[in-house]
Amino acid sequence: MAYSGNLTCRDCGLTFTATWGSVTGADEYRCASDHVVYVEARWGTVLSPGGSGAEGTTLAQLRGLCPSCSTELITGCLPSCPVCRGRDHDVMLN
């Protein structure tokens, strides 16, 4: 399920607009630097919307690490705050 809305950072109070969540047939993963990677749910194949060069590899081949910065990819998390990089937000869906 993909979401879009306003997120208010509980750490610094910034409100920003973002989209997040899984898309049809693929789960959204984010790394510590907030690079987004979509992983096809059935085969674990990476579908990267921004063209990171990792398309067609699997999450297992990446060892669960971001193809751009090699930090751990986590699914089901909110976008990080653009100011303080926190991930604890109040969510107001559009």
Contact set with Zn ion (CB under 5 A): 9, 11-12, 14, 31, 33, 35, 66, 68-69, 81, 83-84, 86
In angstroms, what is the minimal distance from the CB of 58 to Zn ion? 17
Cβ distance to Zn ion smaller for residue 41 or 72? 72
Find the shortest distance in angstroms from Cβ 41 to Zn ion: 21
- Cβ proximity to Zn ion, 14 vs 24, nearer residue: 14
Residues 6+ apart with CB under 8 A from 61: none
Cβ proximity to Zn ion: between 11 and 21 the closer is: 11
> C-alpha dihedral over 90, 4, 74, 14, to 10 degrees?
-40
- Minimum CB separation from Zn ion for residue 57, in Å? 15
Q: What is the dihedral of CA 67, 40, 24, 30, to 10 degrees?
A: -30
Cβ 72 to Zn ion, closest distance in Å?
Answer: 9
**What is the DSSP-derived secondary structure letter of residue 45?**
B
Burial class (CB in 10 A: 0-12, 13-18, 19+), 90: exposed
